[in-house]
Amino acid sequence: MRDNVESRVIIPVQNPRKILALAVSVWLCATAPSFGADPAAADSPRGMVVSPEAHASRVGAEVLAEGGTAADAAVAVAFALAVTNPQAGGIGGGGFLLYRDEHGNHTALDFRETAPEGLTPDRFVDESGKPVPGLSLETGLAVGVPGVVAGLAEIHERWGVLPWKRLIEPAIGLARDGFPVYPDLVRAYGSAEKRLRLDERATAIFLPGAGVPLRGRILEQPQLAATLERIARRGRAGFYEGPVAQALVATVQARGGVMELTDLGAYEVVEREPVRGTYRGYRVVSFPPPSSGGIILLQMLAMLERFEMPEGYGASDTIHLMAEIQRRAFADRSKWLGDPDHVDVPVERLLDSAYVASRASTIDRSRATPSSEILPGAPAAEGSDTAHFSVADRSGRAASLTTTLNTSFGSGIVAAGTGIVLNNEMDDFSLAPGVPNVYGLVGGEANAVRPRKRPLSSMTPTIVEYAETGKRPFLVLGSPGGPRIINAVFQVLVNVIDHGMELQEAVNAPRVHHQWIPDLISYEERALPADVRRALRAMGHSLATYERIGNVNAIGADENGHWLGAADPRKGGAATGQP
């Protein structure tokens, strides 16, 4: 997967995948959306960090250079992103880690936000049972019990070798001394300005003065620096006990929430069994419920494997097949998936080969099946804004970690005196039957609000490996973007494995998205040429443009065993190799 211009000019006739890759490269040059300057792909035989922000990537690479593991680097990057990517990567949210150790063993750590003990479904609806607008997005009721600090402490305890304080020091410096506001942060300010201005502390930090701050302004966060210093000294207790915990609870309650100190004290990180599958000879390992991402990804890959891939990356036949697969998998998501600690999630049955074959058999290759005709399947009985980064080290360890606040800047609420931006993750629950959340997703009873329950997620941290067990995995990747996460990861995998793209090409390539309801194909501007759009509409598809679908930050291994890093140009991330 190494970028090599010469290898694209001298193409062996006997290698049709190389011919296809060249055709795709030419097509991409003509049709790729404009996201600004593409980040440079990185190459290192030792270690690699790919994150949505350059300071954080550099912090992780420095940790690797000091002898830290992929876990150490992941902790350091996550804390740095809490400062430099405040719209998505804060310690006031939750996340998932998929980790591969030096022996090739995989662990899934769930530090997703939980509903407070006092939160019940009736809190979000009016007398007629309809959700009250804004309660699950902009008030204290929207805030779930954060899990990021507990998760990072657990990661360090299990796999870290460098001191905890050393891993947080770079984030403290970035918060205290500041960093220049970059283009994607300016965009995030604009999209969340209304919500941020509802909170005076958020306004003072992120929107001082009139209007949205310009690119290049230095963002200093001294209160967050003090909070991080406390966490560096006291570990998990620095967040879940004492002044920080008290300020968090007081702020949530002042904005109408029901969170108590006991909710913070009772928070637990949960180890879960990863979901596993295969695709065209590769092993695919991904995250289990309460994420829907891993199951839906494996379902889609299993359905696609039953078809011969149409020729042409951007051809109408290819897009049609992908959309039909996506709509069936997302229909299953709406009924069957939720927090496995509270509902029975039929993981094995949803991934059963006979069940997947039955779902694939309903696809008509010449016409779209309206979503109104696609119901969640019946597997046989037993017998928002988000940040993703990937890390790999010289011993073959790998971390695929996604954190979230849900929408950009979460609830827009900053806990008094702490600098912590709080999530609005309760909107990821199904607040009423048939009522979509902020991302248009519809859910059922499996994802209803319950005390201490974790809302269903679309985060999809994933590791792909060669059929033969090797020292290094083939791909480490994930994405932010609500339900679009799953389809972004799906398409990058297909781009590499089926279309023979180089890793950076696969990440850069324009994307499409279908999630069952609403019944339409969303596509990035210029992703679908006019003739392809006409053909898809003739098949019965509805189409709508969408600015950006996901933000995949990926690591791969080339034929020489070097790590390759590909940051997504959609948000201006950075791939930094260990020197």
Determine which one of 114, 318, 386, 418 is catalytic: 386
User: Tokens representing 382?
Assistant: 């037993």
Grouping H, G, I as helix, E, B as strand and the rest as coil, residue 150 is helix
Cβ(192)–Cβ(185) below 8 Å: no
The structure tokens listed for 233 are: 């000294």
At 445 the three-state DSSP class reads helix
Give the CA-trace dihedral at 210, 214, 217, 222, to 10 degrees: 50
34 near 524, Cβ under 8 Å?
Answer: no
Place of tokens 């929430």: 257
Specify whether the CB–CB gap between 206 and 409 falls below 8 A: yes
Identify the three-state secondary structure at position 33.
Answer: coil
CB 202 within 8 A of CB 413: yes
Distance in angstroms (rounded) separating the CA atoms of residues 62 and 76? 10
- Chain centroid to Cα 414, Å, comes to 23
> Where would I find the beta strands (DSSP E) of 8-81?
42-44, 48-51
Cα distances (angstroms) measured from residue 78 to each of 29, 170, 189, 486: 33, 11, 21, 21
Q: First vs last Cα of the chain: how many Å apart? A: 20
Instruction: Give the DSSP H/E element, type plus range, for residue 151.
Output: helix 148-159
- Report which of 421, 414, 437, 454 is spatially closest to residue 134, judged by C-alpha positions: 437
Please, how many CA atoms are within 13 Å of residue 386, restricted to the half-sphere of its CB? 34
Q: Which two tokens stand for residue 260?
A: 């108590």
Q: What are phi and psi of 474, to 5 degrees?
A: -80, -45
CA separation for the pair 455, 303 (Å, rounded): 27
Q: For residue 439, give both structure tokens.
A: 């991302």
User: Residue 429's closest CA among 454, 404, 458, 403?
Assistant: 454
Question: Hey, what are 123's tokens?
Answer: 């809190």
Element containing residue 225 per DSSP (H, E)? helix 222-234
**Token pair in block for residue 498:** 């089926």
Any catalytic annotation for residue 418? no
Indicate the burial class of 133 (C-beta count within 10 angstroms; 0-12, 13-18, 19 or more): exposed
Instruction: Give the separation between CA 44 and CA 563, rounded to whole angstroms.
Output: 5
23 C-beta neighbours (distance < 10 Å), count: 15
Q: Is 550 left (phi over 0), alpha (psi -120 to 50) or beta?
A: left
Hey, which residues are catalytic here? 386
